[in-house]
Copies of this chain bind each other. A is one copy, B any other.
């Protein structure tokens, strides 16, 4: 079992990473003083419920917790204000009070949604994450929770830190291969912004990761969570440093928006975005290696590196200009300066970005 601490003063919390942790959930919850007198609500989605809910319910019930569950449809559509409202209703019906906790069992969608319910319910109750996707290693650190609005993703939200995170590697064995790869995209992102040695390790161990080797996976997730935790500790409210976590995301979000959220998974979109950022970095003076390594490791992880031809460049540019990261009209980009190192460039010209987008369509695969 590995443990990563997210240091945030009195809001600090641990991430436990290991196999079979769900079976021991009662012990962990008890250790973290989750109330047995107040009911708790597990939020999960249909795919995860089928495979992992009974295990969690029984572990918690056996340990003496009052357990209720809410199962939402899988997918980004559930991160909506209307599902949020249904969950608040469910919480009231189950009698959740100020000492209750909400438990997110699932990927980033369930984590963001349930976390926002926990943030808002009675102005904030306890929150526990049990991530079941690789991508959710990212959402389990930092306390960003949110739902979407038809006009913009993640626009309605809060910062709400969990009490603890239980990362049970056993759940990842049932994850579809495409989601495995998409999740690894954020793992390698953490290497690319912060840790050259870890980037090299992923480059060498891509196959073990894709095969869900528990030892490799546990190591990679603990490093990934650890890097994000370091960044977040230094900048909880996303003022400046935390922006480096957006490597590949400016282009990536635009691609998701233009392609529609079905064609490209988030991790796939930011994979293409990171190749774009690497190109941008090299244009702005970074060594050629930045581009070569970035592209190679993403390819080895089975991730796309070429921008789909049919996506309209104008539409992509338009989507980027609507991105919330552009405050007060400036265009901000996270740009690599070396492997494991990035800087925030606040004056990237629209023309240069357009050029990069065009080149990404020609990227050799």
The interface bits of chain A over 138-160 (1 if a CB of B lies within 8 angstroms of the residue's CB, else 0) are 00000010100101100111110
Number of interface residues of A (CB under 8 A): 34
When all copies of this chain in the complex are counted, the total is 2
Across the interface, A158 reaches (CB within 8 A) one of B92, B98, B120, namely B120
Closest residue to A152 on the B side, CB-wise?
A: B92
- 1/0 contact trace for A322-365 toward B, CB 8 Å? 00101111000000000000000000000000000000000000
Q: Does A5 contact B (CB under 8 A)?
A: no
**A207 CB within 8 Å of chain B:** no
Interfacial chain B residues near A158, Cβ < 8 Å? 119-120, 123-124, 158
CA distance A173 to B199 in the complex (A): 67
Knowing A81-B81, A123-B144, A123-B146, say if A155 contacts B328 (CB, 8 Å).
Answer: no
Q: Which residues of B contact A328 (CB under 8 A)?
A: 35, 37-38, 97, 99
Given contact pairs A149-B92, A156-B121, A327 touches B38 in the complex (Cβ within 8 A): yes
Q: Which residues of B contact A327 (CB under 8 A)?
A: 38, 97-99
Residues of B within 8 A of A119 (CB): 158
Chain B residue with Cβ nearest A237: B124
When the two chains form their complex, are residues B37 and A89 in contact, meaning their CB atoms are under 8 A apart? no
Flag if A159 contacts B99 (CB, 8 Å): no
Contacting A324 at CB < 8 Å: which of B88, B98, B149? B98
A161 to chain B minimum Cβ distance, whole angstroms, is 13
Contact A155 B97 (CB under 8 A): no
- A122 at the binding interface (Cβ < 8 Å): yes
A312 at the interface (CB under 8 A from B): no
- The answer to whether B156 touches A92 (Cβ under 8 A) is no
Q: In the complex, what residues of B have CB within 8 A of residue A213's CB?
A: none
Judge whether A85 is part of the interface by a CB distance below 8 angstroms. yes
Question: Which single residue of chain B is at the shortest CB-CB distance from A98?
Answer: B327
**Residue positions of A touching B, CB distance < 8 A:** 35, 37-38, 81, 85, 88-89, 92-93, 97-99, 119-124, 144, 146, 149, 151-152, 155-159, 238, 324, 326-329
Interface pairs (20), CB distance under 8 Å: A35-B328, A38-B327, A81-B85, A88-B149, A92-B149, A97-B328, A98-B324, A98-B327, A120-B120, A120-B156, A120-B157, A120-B158, A121-B155, A121-B156, A122-B155, A123-B144, A123-B146, A123-B157, A123-B158, A158-B158
List 11 other contacts, CB 8 Å, given A98-B327, A120-B156: A81-B85, A89-B149, A92-B151, A97-B324, A97-B326, A97-B327, A99-B327, A99-B328, A120-B157, A123-B144, A123-B158
